[in-house]
Structure 1
Amino acid sequence: MQFKHPELLYALFLLLIPIIIHLFQLRKFQKIDFTNVAFLKKVNIQTRKSSQLKKWLTLVLRLFALACIILAFAQPFTASRTALNTQKETVVYLDNSFSMQAKGPNGPLLQRAIQQLYAQANGTETISWFTNSQTHKDEGLQDFKAKLLDVDHTANQLRPEDVILKSGQLFSKSEGANKRLLWVSDFQGVGAFPEIPEDIKVEAVQLEPVNQNNISIDSVFVASRNSTISKLTVQVSSQGEVPISVPVSLYNGNELIAKAAVDFSERNESFVTFDIDATQTFKGKITIEDPNLTYDNSLFFSINTPKKIKVLSISGANATFLQHIFETTEFNYTAQTDTNTDYNSFTQQNFIILNEITSVPASLRTALADFVDKGGSLFVIPSKNGQLEEYNGLLSSLGAGSFGNYNEQEKKITQIVFAHPLYKDVFEKQVVNFQYPKVNSAYKFAANASSVLKFEDGTPFISQTGNVYTCVAPINSENSNFKNSPLIVPTLYNMAQQSLPLSQLYFTVGQANTFAVPVTLIQDEILTLKDSTSSFVPLQQTKATNVLITTTEEPTSAGVYEIHNKDQYLEDVSYNYGRVESNLQYADALNWDGARTYNSIEGLFDTLLEENSINSFWKWFAIFALLFLILEMLVLKFYKT
């Protein structure tokens, strides 16, 4: 027990006064003579005993009454060390990540947590609090409650160590303050709990969903495509107890294009494929119906109108076969000779073919190296009479190997690397009994490269290093019949197709994403990203043939965004929320060393209220003092001596 005014306890020494008065009775008795002495002596003995008992009883009651009065004025109380500390600091962290959409016993976890915090928050002190997406320092109670109701789910999920770090920034630097972090979360996806600083107490409220069932659209990708059709594959996963068959809907904008169903009867991962038009812009959205987590029930993607692939051939030999392959609606084909080459046109190309030119001068090597460095693709077909040093200078600058001696030896091209991206979906099965093309002579070739086609001895005929493809032999009619082989069309066609790959279907909200928009801007022009409700200007870098866009904090919402140059629509880009929180696996806060754990916000505040309460007892002592005084009066009045 402690006292608010302990100096008043010195008044207890005053209790000695009635004790002294009682022990040393200063009253003088008067003697009176009586005749019957024996009788008076007997009465005197009885009277003195009764009177002595009454006096002692009165003294004790009076001492108790005075002591209680003194103790009441000293104001005794009991309290914990936390309650006595006048420097109390509290920071609240409310997890508003998407996993908090899960249903708890009384509704969605986040909404229920907001209601409980709103109801429990009281007092006049300011509050510092933060979520995964916003931070507020030293706010009044009314502002706290008003902004609390506006908290919504966010794609950003702070790591536990980031929460500790951020809370430390909201606490003061005072070493004597009692610092308490109220942590409200479901602790989804927490791998390991961080170490708690010595000057901070963590009160963890773990909100638990009633089940861990969920169905999510994980990804979508183009499995294959040709000039007219793209095969779109959707990956859907499940967790817990879910329906065996779940419908999946495909939209182009607001128009329903197709429906299919995924089957979870055998495993918790399934795929469904849609065929879509490859020649048009597609503002895609995949949807499912799942009542648990809703954020992963939709996935947006965009496929822009395919651009014509720009192909340039620089030839020192007959290039008619290239004209037959590339003069189609899909390509913009340009033919130049080795004696009339426009280096300035390289920046406009996607795919360049060196077709048996004799000399590769330094200026051409520099221009080609710059072209490849900026993302262009190159196919080198050597000439029998080519300047070997110049060819090797080019290949060396590209890190694509080197040519050796030229051997006059017939070789058959018998091995197709079916797993190579150039031949993906080209063959229904691995063909082994077709008429093999051949060459009459070829260069030896040394490179750390992946083979596309091989000779019968296992050495490469065509190999790939990055964006550079290298053929080891001339393919003119005198040296090879490869131009007449069925292999030449898919080989060169897919080289060109992959030089301008399909733009990424979607990006992830909250991550650093970079992509190029094929547009040429003039001075002071900027690109803007827009959806139906908002727009923003992303970080962008203007280049000669495109604009490089980087997005980080924006956009904050999933959807299909249009890219505009002022009022001119250019193309689309899509964003989706990450799917990390779709996996409903939770850490147990009871295993967190140093943290106290609660299963409800009410339980947390009840404990804090009890710890911060001060139990005062002065009223009880005042009541006891009055009681003792009443007892003294009753003794004096009714106790007969």
Structure 2
Amino acid sequence: MQFKHPELLYALFLLLIPIIIHLFQLRKFQKIAFTNVAFLKKVNIQTRKSSQLKKWLTLLLRLLALAFIILAFAQPFTASKTALNSKKETVVYLDNSFSMQAKGANGPLLQRAKQQLYDEATGDSKISWLTNTTQQKNTSIQDFKSAVLETPYVAKQLTPDEVILKANQLFSKDVGSDKRLLWISDFQSNGVPPNVPTNISVEAVQLQPQNFNNVSIDTAYIASQNASTIKLNVSVSAMGTTPASVAVSLFNGNALVAKSAVDFSAKKENTVTFDVDANTVFKGKLTIDDANLSYDNSLYFSINTPKKIKVLSISESNAAFLQRIFDNSEFEYVAQTANQQDYNAFSDQNFIVLNELESIPNSLVTAVADFVTKGGSILIIPSEEGRLQEYNTLLNRLQVGNFDGIAKQEKKITQIVFSHPLYKDVFERQVANFQYPKVNAYYPTSTNATAALKFEDGKPFIIQQGSVYVGTAAFNDGNSNFKSSPLIVPTLLNMAQQSLPITQLYYHTGVQNTYAVPVNLVQDEIVTLKDSVSNFVPLQQAKANKVLITTTDEPGIAGIFGIENNGTFLEDVSYNFPRSESNLTYLDVGDWQNVRNYDSIETLFDTLTEENSITSFWKWFVIFALLFLILEMLVLKFYKN
């Protein structure tokens, strides 16, 4: 027991006064003559005993009454150390990720959590709180209750360490304050248990769904394509107890195009295939019916009118291999000879190949440098008879390095840099028994550029610096058999395709995406992304004949967006939420160190209320003081000597 005014307890010494009075108050009995002496002695003894008992009983009751009055004024109470600390800070983390759409006993986990927070949050103190995408510091309880009901689902989920880090940013630097983090989540498997600082008390409420069933559209991709038809593969997965089959619907805009069923009787992951017209713009939407998580029941994609990648070659050697590689519907290929160069055509190209030119005049150096500066890509294939000084002038202008002089030595091209963007997804596995091509002569190179292909001794055969690719040896049949190697097709195709990174079927929200839109913009013109209800201006960089668009946080919703320039439609781009939230597996918070676990928000707030409550007893002491005074009056009135 503790006292609000402990200094008043010194008044208990006043209890000595009635004790002293009672001890030293002497009462003499008068002698009265009576004939029966024995009877008088007996009466005298009984009277003395009765009088002493009454005096001690009265003394006790007075002492108790006075003591309880003094204790009442000292205001006794009981409270925990937390309750006594006047400096309290509370941070609430509410997990609003898509996994919180799972159904609990009283509906979706997030909706129930928001309502319980609204009902339980009381008082007039300030509170800080955060979700996976927002945070607020020192807001009033009323503002918190209003905002928490409007908290939407988001695709992002913070890891446990990120939650602790962001909560620390909301707490003050006061070492004497009691810091408490209320962590409300389903604790979906996302990272490892956090390192909880010793100055923070973590109270965790793990919300659990009633079942762990879910069906998800994971991805869609083009399996094959010809002049008339695109075969679209759709991957669908299931977990928990699911139906034997689930219907998948394909829409073009709002029109239902096709419907198929995915079979889950044998395995939990399966694929269905749809045929899509390759000659039409397709605003695709795939849907399934699943009563559990709803965010992964649809997937958007867009197929635009194919944009031809413009490729120009300037050759002083046989360029038939370039004609064979780029002579298809994906490219618009133009060939020039060294004697018929048209620099004015550079501005319309996406990819230029300088094929074994013996001479590179200053005018060509200037034109190529300007082309690269404006966003174009180029491949330089040197000639064995090339003028070294002119080549180095071009390479230095492009900041690639320089050739050290030709070395006539046979070398095999044995090292493929599989992690290089040119070969990403080209090989299913890293091959070791490859039929390696070779060269008879090459140019040793001084460069800091990245190598994509290397000789057997580790020296580079093809290097990349930004949008500039350089071969260190001639490709002609007299010097190399690289043109006959299977490597040349993916190498040159990917160089050209990456010169104009056209939009994919779809992108994920919340991550950085970069793609190009082939459009010529005049000064101060911009492109916008627009759907039926909103529009925004993405980060963009205008090049000579394209615009590079980069998106990160926006858009924050899934759907199909039109790319427009001054109201003119250019093409569509689609975004979908990542599917990481579809995996309904959870961490066990009971195993976390320095974390108290609760089964509901009500239990959490009841416990906190109890721990923060101060129980006062002064009223009881006043009641007992009055009771003892009444007992004293009764003793004095009715107790006979």
Instruction: Report the TM-score, using the length of structure 1 for normalisation.
Output: 0.81
Q: Where in structure 2 are the equivalents of 1:432-511 lying within 5 Å?
A: 472-473=475-476, 502-511=502-511
One-letter code of the match for 1:271? T
Deviation at 1:334, TM superposition (A): 3.2
Which residue of 2 is the match for residue 611 of structure 1?
611
CA separation of 1:507 and 1:350: change in aligned 2, threshold 3 A:
same
One-letter code of the match for 1:508? H
Which residue of 2 is the match for residue 242 of structure 1?
242
Q: Where in structure 2 are the equivalents of 1:518-533 lying within 5 Å?
A: 518-533=518-533
Deviation at 1:326, TM superposition (A): 7.2
Deviation at 1:386, TM superposition (A): 5.9
Please give the alpha-carbon distance, in whole angstroms, between the structure 1 residues aligned to 2:492 and 2:46.
Answer: 135
Partner of 1:180, secondary structure, is: strand
Q: Where in structure 2 are the equivalents of 1:59-208 lying within 5 Å?
A: 59-208=59-208
Deviation at 1:191, TM superposition (A): 2.1
Please give the alpha-carbon distance, in whole angstroms, between the structure 1 residues aligned to 2:489 and 2:35.
Answer: 156
Deviation at 1:376, TM superposition (A): 3.6
Which residue of 2 is the match for residue 251 of structure 1?
251
1:89 touches 1:178 (CA, 8 Å); kept in 2? Answer: yes
One-letter code of the match for 1:202? V
Deviation at 1:348, TM superposition (A): 2.2
Deviation at 1:317, TM superposition (A): 7.4
Deviation at 1:268, TM superposition (A): 2.2
CA separation of 1:607 and 1:159: change in aligned 2, threshold 3 A:
same
Deviation at 1:215, TM superposition (A): 1.6
Which residue of 2 is the match for residue 574 of structure 1?
574
1:400 touches 1:468 (CA, 8 Å); kept in 2? Answer: no
CA separation of 1:267 and 1:362: change in aligned 2, threshold 3 A:
farther
Bigger drift between 337-346 and 23-32 goes to 23-32
Bigger drift between 320-329 and 562-571 goes to 320-329
Q: Percent identity?
A: 63
Please give the alpha-carbon distance, in whole angstroms, between the structure 2 residues aligned to 1:317 and 1:8.
Answer: 108
Please give the alpha-carbon distance, in whole angstroms, between the structure 2 residues aligned to 1:363 and 1:165.
Answer: 57
User: Could you report, residue by residue, the CA deviation over 1:400-435 in whole angstroms, capped at 9, with x for unpaired residues?
Assistant: 99998799xxxxxxxxxxxx999999xxxxxxxxxx
Deviation at 1:201, TM superposition (A): 1.1
Which residue of 1 is the match for residue 413 of structure 2?
none
2:501 touches 2:516 (CA, 8 Å); kept in 1? Answer: no
2:258 touches 2:274 (CA, 8 Å); kept in 1? Answer: yes
2:372 touches 2:378 (CA, 8 Å); kept in 1? Answer: yes
Which residue of 2 is the match for residue 21 of structure 1?
21
Deviation at 1:492, TM superposition (A): 9.4
Partner of 1:334, secondary structure, is: strand
Which residue of 2 is the match for residue 416 of structure 1?
none
1:230 touches 1:276 (CA, 8 Å); kept in 2? Answer: yes
Deviation at 1:7, TM superposition (A): 2.2
User: Could you report, residue by residue, the CA deviation over 1:88-133 in whole angstroms, capped at 9, with x for unpaired residues?
Assistant: 1111111111111111111111001011111111111122212112
Which residue of 2 is the match for residue 563 of structure 1?
563
Deviation at 1:358, TM superposition (A): 6.2
CA separation of 1:611 and 1:500: change in aligned 2, threshold 3 A:
closer
Deviation at 1:354, TM superposition (A): 6.0
Deviation at 1:498, TM superposition (A): 7.9
2:426 touches 2:490 (CA, 8 Å); kept in 1? Answer: no
Which residue of 2 is the match for residue 301 of structure 1?
301
Equivalent residues, number:
595
1:248 touches 1:259 (CA, 8 Å); kept in 2? Answer: yes
Which residue of 1 is the match for residue 414 of structure 2?
none
Please give the alpha-carbon distance, in whole angstroms, between the structure 2 residues aligned to 1:277 and 1:231.
Answer: 9
Deviation at 1:244, TM superposition (A): 2.4
One-letter code of the match for 2:535? S
User: Could you report, residue by residue, the CA deviation over 1:201-245 in whole angstroms, capped at 9, with x for unpaired residues?
Assistant: 111111111122222222222222233322222222222221222
Please give the alpha-carbon distance, in whole angstroms, between the structure 1 residues aligned to 2:210 and 2:250.
Answer: 31
CA separation of 1:143 and 1:500: change in aligned 2, threshold 3 A:
closer
Please give the alpha-carbon distance, in whole angstroms, between the structure 1 residues aligned to 2:500 and 2:273.
Answer: 24
**Which consecutive unaligned segments of at least 5 residues does structure 2 have?**
411-421, 428-438, 445-450, 455-460
Which residue of 2 is the match for residue 434 of structure 1?
none
Partner of 1:203, secondary structure, is: strand
User: Could you report, residue by residue, the CA deviation over 1:589-636 in whole angstroms, capped at 9, with x for unpaired residues?
Assistant: 112211111111011111101101111111222222222223223333
2:317 touches 2:476 (CA, 8 Å); kept in 1? Answer: no
Which residue of 2 is the match for residue 346 of structure 1?
346
Please give the alpha-carbon distance, in whole angstroms, between the structure 1 residues aligned to 2:497 and 2:69.
Answer: 98
User: Could you report, residue by residue, the CA deviation over 1:519-551 in whole angstroms, capped at 9, with x for unpaired residues?
Assistant: 111122111111111111112222211122222
Which residue of 2 is the match for residue 278 of structure 1?
278
1:392 touches 1:403 (CA, 8 Å); kept in 2? Answer: no
1:590 aligns with 2:554: no
Which residue of 2 is the match for residue 540 of structure 1?
540
Which residue of 1 is the match for residue 623 of structure 2?
623
**Which consecutive unaligned segments of at least 5 residues does structure 1 have?**
408-419, 426-441, 452-462
1:423 touches 1:491 (CA, 8 Å); kept in 2? Answer: no
CA separation of 1:321 and 1:131: change in aligned 2, threshold 3 A:
closer
1:381 touches 1:474 (CA, 8 Å); kept in 2? Answer: no
Bigger drift between 307-316 and 11-20 goes to 307-316
User: Could you report, residue by residue, the CA deviation over 1:355-376 in whole angstroms, capped at 9, with x for unpaired residues?
Assistant: 7866565765776688689564
Please give the alpha-carbon distance, in whole angstroms, between the structure 1 residues aligned to 2:323 and 2:270.
Answer: 44
Deviation at 1:172, TM superposition (A): 2.0
CA separation of 1:445 and 1:277: change in aligned 2, threshold 3 A:
farther
User: Could you report, residue by residue, the CA deviation over 1:300-353 in whole angstroms, capped at 9, with x for unpaired residues?
Assistant: 122221113324343557989988997887654434332110234234224556
User: Could you report, residue by residue, the CA deviation over 1:486-518 in whole angstroms, capped at 9, with x for unpaired residues?
Assistant: xx9999999977875653222221112222221
2:351 touches 2:376 (CA, 8 Å); kept in 1? Answer: no
Please give the alpha-carbon distance, in whole angstroms, between the structure 2 residues aligned to 1:185 and 1:233.
Answer: 35
User: Could you report, residue by residue, the CA deviation over 1:46-105 in whole angstroms, capped at 9, with x for unpaired residues?
Assistant: 221222222222222222222222222221111111111111111111111111111111
User: Could you report, residue by residue, the CA deviation over 1:441-476 in whole angstroms, capped at 9, with x for unpaired residues?
Assistant: x9667998779xxxxxxxxxxx9877779984459x
Partner of 1:151, secondary structure, is: coil
2:233 touches 2:274 (CA, 8 Å); kept in 1? Answer: yes
Which residue of 1 is the match for residue 310 of structure 2?
310
Please give the alpha-carbon distance, in whole angstroms, between the structure 1 residues aligned to 2:360 and 2:628.
Answer: 118
CA separation of 1:366 and 1:445: change in aligned 2, threshold 3 A:
farther
One-letter code of the match for 1:125? S
Please give the alpha-carbon distance, in whole angstroms, between the structure 2 residues aligned to 1:325 and 1:189.
Answer: 47
Provide the aligned C-alpha RMSD in A.
4.0
Instruction: Report the TM-score, using the length of structure 2 for normalisation.
Output: 0.81
Deviation at 1:13, TM superposition (A): 1.8
1:188 touches 1:585 (CA, 8 Å); kept in 2? Answer: yes
One-letter code of the match for 1:180? R
1:5 touches 1:73 (CA, 8 Å); kept in 2? Answer: yes
Partner of 1:223, secondary structure, is: strand
1:41 aligns with 2:41: yes
